[in-house]
Structure 1
Amino acid sequence: MTRNTAAKPPVTLLGLGAMGTALARTWLAAGHPLTVWNRTAARAEALAAEGAKVADSAASAVAASALIVVCLLDDDSVGEALDGVDLAGRDLVNLTTTTPAQARARAAWAEERGARYLDGGIMAVPPMAGVPEAGGYVFYSGSRELFEARREALAVPLGTKYVGADAGFAALHDVALLSAMYGMFAGTAHAFALIRREDIDPVAFAPLLADWLAAMAQGVHGTAAQLRSGDYSEGVVSNLAMQVAGTPTFLATAEGQGVSPELIRPYFELMRRRLDVGSDEEDLTGVVDLLLR
């Protein structure tokens, strides 16, 4: 063991799927003594050859380090892997994809067992781990004390963004951003469907679409400001009444192109509902309130 390795705090990692394996390799490359465990032991063989210690059980893996990082399939998998394991005095960082409610419950569960707890939402794909210029990061929420104490080690594979003491906030930020992403994908799919049967090269069309989406994405700042102030008519350029009046054209175009409107019609219906209860001069922000149950 080199002096550099000895100076780095040990890490235990539970879960060696694609992301877990990528995280493991970054900690090894940075000189952290690493203990790994995976339910399917064969997945650990390559990492063992690279210097990781392979534990024969989750309990022995947890016993090997004070910092325990979990990256498993789901919350049930976390409970099963750590069932009966002594967590007293450990720092548990859970990077498993869960709901905010599951994260809060898991935080209470960990604290009852004497562990400090952080929940994480990974905003990256495996190839981004250990590549700072790729821009990947992890949302963290829960114990601020734990985050500050382990920030350096946690920042080895991916950037870190602490979003609050509420353990559910990392998962909430994760799902909120990914939900917006899927909404963008839905709009992109509809746009490509509209040109699909025409003599329009999708590759030539793509830069136009990408630039347009990038420009429109700046509108999130205005929406945020209106939500904070409660004034949905602040800074409006194209008001709700005008936009609702234009929706029949979009639906007629889809009909004419032989394209299902199922990806855009629900949003148009929300716009019209908001117009019925709001002001003609509003922006689209009031749609947010219609989604709240």
Structure 2
Amino acid sequence: MTEFPDIILYAIPFFIVSMLLELYVTTKEHIKTYETKDAFSSIAMGLGNVFLGYFSKALVLLCFFYIYENFRLFTIPVVWWSFILIFFADDFSYYWFHRISHSCRLFWASHVVHHSSQHYNLSTALRQTWSGGFYSFIFWLWLPLIGFHPGMILLQMSISLLYQFWIHTEAINKMPKWFEAIMNTPSHHRVHHGSNPLYLDRNHAGILIIWDKLFGTFQPELDDEKVIYGLVKNIDTYNPIKIAFIEWIYMFKDAFSGHKSIKNRLLYLIKPPGWKHDGTGTLSDDLRANWLKDKEHGLQK
């Protein structure tokens, strides 16, 4: 494992310098993107994620190595071409993890942390879950099964996370057209962080935007639809503990309080955010459909 360094730790000075540079650029261009309390909350979430990562990564490696040593179907050598293969395999896994994290409340309970800021800047990239690392890795279990070395997998997962840091900014409008067509960019990811009905649950890409285009979840950023960052219902707190666990509390309260069947209790863990067993809930698809209907009838500005 010594051949596969934890590049996220080495990148911390780069994160700090980049945020300072972004703050300078956005201030000079009169773009108000940072709010002090919000930024410190995001940084606190990031530090907590790094600390808990020592424990979650131990669990991940244990599971990866167990599958790799006992059940792998092939042995993929650690050579140059295998890094190309794992680049695409990891990014494909990330897309489905990310997409399901928006459509299954059990995964949303941890992922919602990253969407909880009403601001969009490089510090938002650091607003990471404290719980997701202990179970979201299941979307990558097929990689050691087919023969990728666990160290390679963890390295590529870190590369993906590192790539996604720079796209959390309003300082960059659009990249060249060819780049926008293939890669995830600040413009594409701003859409993903939008609470606008049109933008909900779109652009789940990690590095490559091609998956969204292939699987029907791509939405370009529109000039006449300014992104409103945050959640449909914002949590309005800067407390890192609340940010980390408030959705878990809401989810378990919905699932295990009141008079419900066992099936409905379980469905609160599986169904998308907003689902209610009595049919009164509103899903993101409903919000988008209503928005598009109003747009068609000229009710939207």
Task: Report the TM-score, using the length of structure 2 for normalisation.
Answer: 0.26
Which structure is richer in relative contact order (CA contacts within 8 A, separation 6 or more)?
2
Greater Cα radius of gyration, structure 1 or 2: 1
Q: Which one has the bigger helix percentage?
A: 2
